[in-house]
Chains A and B, each alone.
Chain A
Amino acid sequence: MQLFPCPFCGERDEREFHFVGEAGKRRPDTKTLVTDKLWAGYLHVRQNPKGPSREVWRHLTCNELFVMERDTLSMEVLAITVLRKDAAP
């Protein structure tokens, strides 16, 4: 059972969090032509790195999303960043 730091609530048990997705994925502009390949890549292809990774997580109890950088091998949490503009450094 891992401990994740919510930027708003502090360190909590991993059961309080949900994985949202890979960080930095951009939704293609669907008003232009989006090829099947590009769309399938957006929907289904993940980097899934062994080692440091950037992911978006949700803290279920405060419903805030944030970016968590963590090492998928050592399970170490490397950094967290809030998604809110006004709270960003």
Chain B
Amino acid sequence: MSGYRLDEGGLIDRSRRLNFSFDGRSLAGHPGDTLASALLANGVWLLGRSFKYHRPRGIWGAGAEEPNAFLDLRLGRRQIAHCLATATELEEGMMARSLGGWPGRRLDLLAGLDRLHPYLGAGFYHKTFFRPGWRFWEPAIRRLAGRGRIDLAGAEQYRSAPIHDRAGLLVVGAGLAGLAAARAAAEAGEDVLVVDEQHLPGGGLHALGRAPDGTGARQWIAAQIAAIEAAGGRVLSATTALGVHDHNLVSLLRARGLAVPPRLIELRARRILLATGAIERPLLIGGNDRPGVMSAWAALEYLARYGVLVGRDMVLLSGNALAEAGAETLRAAGARILVLDPGSDPVEVLGRRRVRGLRIGAKQVSCDTVLVSGGYSPNLALWCQGGGGLDWDQEAEAFLPGSGPGTLAVAGAAAGFFDPARALEHAQILGRRLSDPDPPSGSLPAPSPAADIGLKRLRPAGAGRRWVDLAADVTVAELEEAAAEGYDTVEHLKRYTALGMSADQGRSSNVTGLELLARQAQRPVPEIGTTRFRPPYRPVPLASLAGVQEGRLLAPPKRMALEPVHRDAGGALREYGGWLRPGWYEKRPAEAIPEEVRAVREGVGLIDVSPLGKIEVMGPGAARFLDFVCYASIGDLGVGQGRYSFLLREDGSILDDGVVFRLGPRHFLLTCSSAHAGAVLAHLETWRQDVQDPDKVFLHDTTGRWQSLCVSGPGAREMLAALLPNIDLGAAGLAHMGINRGRFDGAPARVARLSFTGETSFEVSLPATPARALWRLAIIKGARPVGMEALDILRAEKGHVLVGRDTDSETMPPDLGFAAWLRKKPSPYLGDRGLVSEAARSRDRRQLVGLRVPEGAAPLPVGAHLVAGRQPRSQGFVTTSCLSPALGRPVALALLERGRARLGESVTVWHLGKTRGAVVAPHCAYDPKGERLDAK
């Protein structure tokens, strides 16, 4: 092969030059070139080495079907691995690097592997590298294969936000059939979108030269696009349909040059028309992988689109009129071309790093390019992805679209219409039908692919080594060996030999391989079957699929109404359970946190607990509903009273905990953990709507409506009484677990008395504006702002659990010491049966305990295992651990098998290979009698 650029012709802009390099050599092309056409125009024919045998490889095709021409590219600071040269638009300054060869593509010291080919047959890796294990060998073998290098840092930045779009009719492929159908549909009033993967629309029509009516390709294409756009339709080029997914969602990837990350379009189409063309198949002749053996159609594409003749002395081996007509075009452009019919003579390509000739039987011809056409396979990957079936056409030896979903249709060569005039007629009728809400019955024209192109099958006899799949480096001999070893179904064959498993998904090789297998097994091709086509149609950067959905954009934290107040107070905002909350205030954490803890224990602390879930339950069925979903009895609560309760799952495990207050006879308030509010609401709604009477009970999530400030400490009552003079906070008027309502600053306010810290605490709930005022007043009166870190220590000292931290998906209330209601409750409730299951009755349940460490020891690591026994195994783990400022020693909570029966026992704490000792203790380390709950 020695390609060159013609002085005229093609769709490129010869007035401008684009400089690029290949393996360090400076070359030039023109705008409109692909990397492959620019390389061919410069006479480059060796693009790299093959995957397994390190054979020299060139270019086979002219588009997405290309199995060989993968290159690593660098453009500016961007490095992109494994780019398909035939589908990459040339840009100024591109630096391309060949793959597979070591040290390079010309001198490849690994080429010796090819000599070993008799030993590297089907399943070679499976048969050889199983001892000591594939993982041992894999890194070295991967290096030998020499695929592209990934630039991880660059890939991270190669992102773009996806676009969501919709269309009445999506037409994939802007060739003759696609444009004709799209125009017919658009002019009938349909909302049409045409996408085409190439940079210039037109598909194979450029290579054909003329439309069936005699108009030149360029004028015809321009006229169709103008008509589509005039009728309100859209045409997008350089946009590849990657996949057809459920309910007609189509993923499209729009390329805008390598410098800009490609953009994903998620398009929902009412109907989809696939005009994806056909792919030329190779011929199984000896040495058919040599650089210079090329698809005959690709040579026409290079001539028509880029003004490049791929060789000077060509031989065409074909058995169809389409390719033979192409030979005339190439001859007219100045190539010497010899059309040969080998019959059944053995054919072998001569040459090593490039084609030098051809041997047919006893005859020898010298040439620099061998064009082959082994027939055409309709490109039906998207059709199959969308649920379409395949019918085998024995005459054309090709799969044609069979029955499929009603919203999917196929036109043009993809549907088996290889004759342009018939394809056009069929596509126009189809386009009108697809846009008709009430389409006429009656059959469409039927394809006759073999007759369209006068197909005559060529079966040259074997001579030398013949390749079926160039990308995965699979030969005829390997397929035959695999079939002889019993791997004779397509799925086994594929996995055993890697046929069709490369980045090209076997576009040019699948049908050839199937046919070969069918002949070997003496079974019809449909019985052998075809492998599944899966998205994406073409390799796609993972960053394009991920889009911008990461970090904060994937899961944005919830923000509190008083966030500005916390910022002003020097709050260090961190994420806690999905909310952005102050961890501590003002100073360094090591200083601030113990001070905040001390403020609550000795003075007054002020904690913003607004994210606490606040779900109101209303209606005549509210009490009954709560009795069913709560572990505790709720119906017997008086107005103004509250009760601590768990919400259980059906298996008896704890979903969440909280306090239920009765605000009125038919009005309750359920509080739940900040992080679980959404899950709790969903859980309650399920039981309300699916099981209970949804007309008698209503749920209302008021979490965002009320800000909650917790005033906690020995001085809390005195300070708050001055700020809320019209609400009774006295020990008699507001008992522990009680709730009073009143007003503050003209707004409604609720004060609940409960305590997470162990000190006298009041939780004041009120709207955002008065909440800000109350916060400021409390600070002026001397309350100290307290962050989440200090709160965590305060509750740990008291042994109060955080559901999800100190419990896991198996923890039940009795494991935490709550068993009182288990038998007492008269009505059925969620989890009741689960609490008497075999698992619940087990003696080895993990129970909540505290842990004490020896004098002077550091806090235990959270997550450390508690091990015991002669054969040590984990009997539990540390769930919470911190240094208690009040006690001056570390405190820890843990879940431990039979823990409550083991108080005082020594356990071994294992963490990352190191062990320490600890003693099992009651979970409440501070003020175990609760005397501080009601301090003055």
Contacts and interface: CB of A to CB of B under 8 A. Distances in A.
Contacts of A8: none
A83 B690 contact: yes
A30 B690 CA distance: 17
Interface in A71-87: 74-75, 83-86
A1 B828 contact: no
B656 interface: no
A65 B686 contact: yes
A2 B247 contact: yes
B690 A36 contact: no
Given A29-B828, A30-B828, A43 B690 contact: no
Contact of B837 (A1, A36, A63): A36
A20 B246 CA distance: 21
A30 to B, nearest CB: 4
B554 to A, nearest CB: 13
B553 to A, nearest CB: 15
Interface string A29-59: 1110010100100110000000000001010
Contacts of A14: 246
Contacts of B682: 18, 58, 60, 63
Contacts of A43: 650-651
Nearest to A75: B246
B832 A83 contact: no
Nearest to A77: B247
B245 A74 contact: no
A63 B828 CA distance: 25
B864 to A, nearest CB: 33
Interface in B497-516: none
A23 B247 CA distance: 23
Nearest to B701: A63
B268 interface: yes
A60 B701 CA distance: 14
B685 to A, nearest CB: 5
Contacts of B249: 1
B694 interface: yes
A36 B829 CA distance: 17
Contacts of B686: 20, 58, 65
Contact of B695 (A27, A64, A86): A86
B128 interface: no
Q: How large is the interface on A (under 10, 10 to 19, 20 to 34, 35 or more residues)?
A: 20 to 34
A1 B249 CA distance: 6
Nearest to B832: A30
B837 A3 contact: no
A74 B387 contact: yes
B681 interface: yes
Interface string B242-258: 00011101000000000
B268 A3 contact: yes
Contacts of A65: 685-686, 689-690
Given A36-B837, A58-B682, A74-B387, A31 B694 contact: no
A1 B246 contact: yes
B402 to A, nearest CB: 16
Interface residues of B, number: 27
A14 B268 CA distance: 13
A70 B827 CA distance: 36
B912 interface: no
A31 B833 CA distance: 9
B691 interface: yes
A1 B245 contact: yes
A84 B697 CA distance: 12
A58 B685 contact: yes
A83 B249 CA distance: 29
Most A CB contacts (10 A, CB to CB) among B245, B246, B691 go to: B246
A3 B247 contact: yes
A56 B249 CA distance: 24
A75 B247 contact: yes
Contacts of A60: 682
B838 interface: yes
A51 B405 CA distance: 16
B247 A1 contact: yes
Interface in B822-848: 827-829, 832-833, 837-838
A21 B828 CA distance: 21
Nearest to B699: A63
Nearest to A4: B247
Contacts of A28: 833
A40 to B, nearest CB: 9
Most A CB contacts (10 A, CB to CB) among B249, B689, B694, B837 go to: B689
Interface string B689-718: 111011100000000000000000000000
A60 B686 CA distance: 11
A83 B694 contact: yes
A14 B246 CA distance: 10
B419 interface: no
A83 B688 CA distance: 11
Contacts of B685: 58, 63, 65
Nearest to B835: A30
A20 B690 contact: yes
Contacts of B806: none
A64 B247 CA distance: 23
A81 to B, nearest CB: 12
B266 interface: yes
B245 A27 contact: no
Contact of A31 (B268, B405, B695, B828): B828
A27 B837 CA distance: 16
Interface in B212-245: 245
A14 to B, nearest CB: 8
B710 to A, nearest CB: 29
B681 A39 contact: no
Most A CB contacts (10 A, CB to CB) among B685, B694, B833 go to: B833
B691 A27 contact: yes
A29 B832 CA distance: 10
Contacts of A39: 833, 837
Contacts of B694: 83-85
Contacts of B827: 31
Contacts of A27: 691
Contacts of A18: 682
A56 B690 contact: yes
A1 B832 contact: no
Contacts of B245: 1
A21 B681 CA distance: 17
Contacts of A20: 686, 690
Contacts of A30: 828-829, 832-833
B695 A85 contact: yes
A64 B689 contact: yes
Contact of B833 (A34, A64, A75, A83): A34
Most B CB contacts (10 A, CB to CB) among A27, A30, A39 go to: A30
A83 B689 contact: yes
A46 B906 CA distance: 45
A74 B245 CA distance: 12
A58 B691 CA distance: 14
A21 B685 CA distance: 13
Nearest to A34: B833
Interface in B615-665: 650-651
Contacts of A56: 690
B721 to A, nearest CB: 40
A30 B827 CA distance: 9
Contact of A63 (B650, B681, B695, B832): B681
A1 B162 CA distance: 15
Given A2-B247, A56-B690, A58-B686, 5 more contacts: A2-B246, A18-B682, A65-B689, A83-B690, A84-B694
10 contacts: A2-B247, A27-B691, A30-B832, A42-B650, A56-B690, A63-B685, A64-B689, A65-B686, A74-B387, A84-B695
Q: Nearest 10 pairs between A and B by C-beta?
A: A65-B689, A30-B828, A2-B246, A1-B249, A30-B833, A3-B247, A30-B832, A2-B247, A75-B246, A83-B689
Interface of A: 1-3, 14, 18, 20-21, 27-31, 34, 36, 39, 42-43, 56, 58, 60, 63-65, 74-75, 83-86
